[in-house]
Amino acid sequence: MVSRAILILGDQLSPDLDALRDADKDRDLIVMAEVRAEATYVGHHPKKIAFLFAAMRKFARRLEADGWQVAYTRLDDPENTHAIPDELARRAADHGADGAVVTEPGEWRLRQALDALHESYGSHMEFICNSDTRFIASKDEFKDWAAGRKQLRMEYFYREMRRKTGLLMDGDKPAGGQWNFDHDNRKPLKGNDLFASGPLRFDPDDTVAEVLALVEREFPSNFGDLRPFWFATDHDQAQASLDHFIAQRLETFGDYQDAMLRDDGFLSHAVLGLYINAGLLDPLKVCQAAETAWKNGQAPINAAEGFIRQILGWREFGRGVYDIEGPDYTSRNVLEHKRKLPDMYWGGDTQMACMSAAVSQTRAEAYAHHIQRLMVTGNFALLAGIDPHQIHEWYLAVYADAYEWVEAPNVIGMSQFADGGVVGSKPYVSSGAYINRMSDYCKGCAYAVTAKTGDKACPFNLLYWHFLIRHRDRFGGNPRMAQMYRTWDRMDETHRATVLRDAGRLLERLDAGETV
61: left (phi over 0), alpha (psi -120 to 50) or beta: alpha
Strands 169-170 and 173-174, sheet pairing? antiparallel
For ligand FAD, what does the binding mask look like between residues 305 and 344, x meaning CB under 6 A?
A: --x--xx--xx--x--------------------------
Residue 44: CB partners within 8 Å, gap ≥ 6?
Answer: 219, 222, 397
Q: Give the helix ranges, DSSP H, for 264-325.
A: 273-278, 283-295, 301-308, 316-325
Q: Which does 399 bind (CB under 5 to 8 A by kind): ligand SF4, ligand FAD, ligand DLZ, none?
A: ligand FAD
Q: Does 353 bind ligand SF4 (CB under 6 A)?
A: yes
Q: Does 52 bind ligand DLZ (CB under 6 A)?
A: yes
Q: C-beta of 454: minimal distance to ligand SF4 in Å?
A: 13
103 close to 12: Cβ distance less than 8 angstroms: yes
Q: Which does 106 bind (CB under 5 to 8 A by kind): ligand DLZ, ligand SF4, ligand FAD, none?
A: ligand DLZ
Name residues contacting ligand SF4, limited to 425-444 (CB under 6 A): 432, 435-436, 441-442
Per-residue CA distances from 159 to 166, 173, 305, 308 (Å): 10, 10, 12, 11
Size of site (CB under 6 A) for ligand DLZ: 17
Closer of 114 and 462 to ligand SF4 (Cβ): 462
**Cα–Cα distance for residue pair 288/168, rounded to 1 Å:** 9
Size of site (CB under 6 A) for ligand FAD: 28
Q: Does 380 bind ligand FAD (CB under 6 A)?
A: no
Q: Which does 142 bind (CB under 5 to 8 A by kind): ligand DLZ, ligand FAD, ligand SF4, none?
A: none
Sign of the four-CA dihedral 95, 99, 100, 101: negative
Q: Does 460 bind ligand SF4 (CB under 6 A)?
A: yes
For ligand SF4, what does the binding mask look like between residues 386 and 425, x meaning CB under 6 A?
A: ----------------------------------------
60 close to 72: Cβ distance less than 8 angstroms: yes
287 close to 281: Cβ distance less than 8 angstroms: no
User: Shortest CA distance to 238 belongs to which of 197, 283, 275, 203?
Assistant: 275
72 backbone dihedrals φ, ψ, rounded to 5°: -110, 125
For the chain, give the longest Cα–Cα distance.
81
Sign of the four-CA dihedral 246, 208, 49, 14: negative
**Cα–Cα distance for residue pair 17/28, rounded to 1 Å:** 15
Q: Does 237 bind ligand FAD (CB under 6 A)?
A: no
Q: Which stretch binds ligand SF4 (CB under 6 A): 64-72, 296-304, 329-337, 454-462?
A: 454-462
For ligand DLZ, what does the binding mask look like between residues 70 and 89, x meaning CB under 6 A?
A: --------------x-----
Q: Does 410 bind ligand FAD (CB under 6 A)?
A: yes
255 close to 187: Cβ distance less than 8 angstroms: yes
Closer of 223 and 307 to ligand DLZ (Cβ): 223
Residue 319: CB partners within 8 Å, gap ≥ 6?
Answer: 106, 135, 137, 142, 405, 406, 409
395 close to 405: Cβ distance less than 8 angstroms: no
Q: Which does 447 bind (CB under 5 to 8 A by kind): ligand FAD, ligand DLZ, ligand SF4, none?
A: ligand SF4
Q: Which stretch binds ligand FAD (CB under 6 A): 102-110, 182-190, 344-352, 393-401?
A: 393-401
- Binding footprint of ligand SF4 on the chain (CB under 6 A): 352-354, 432, 435-436, 441-442, 445, 447, 449, 458-460
- Binding footprint of ligand DLZ on the chain (CB under 6 A): 9-11, 33-35, 38-39, 44, 49, 52, 84, 105-107, 110, 403
- Binding footprint of ligand FAD on the chain (CB under 6 A): 269-273, 276-277, 307, 310-311, 314-315, 318, 369-370, 373-374, 378, 395, 399, 401-402, 406-407, 410-411, 414-415
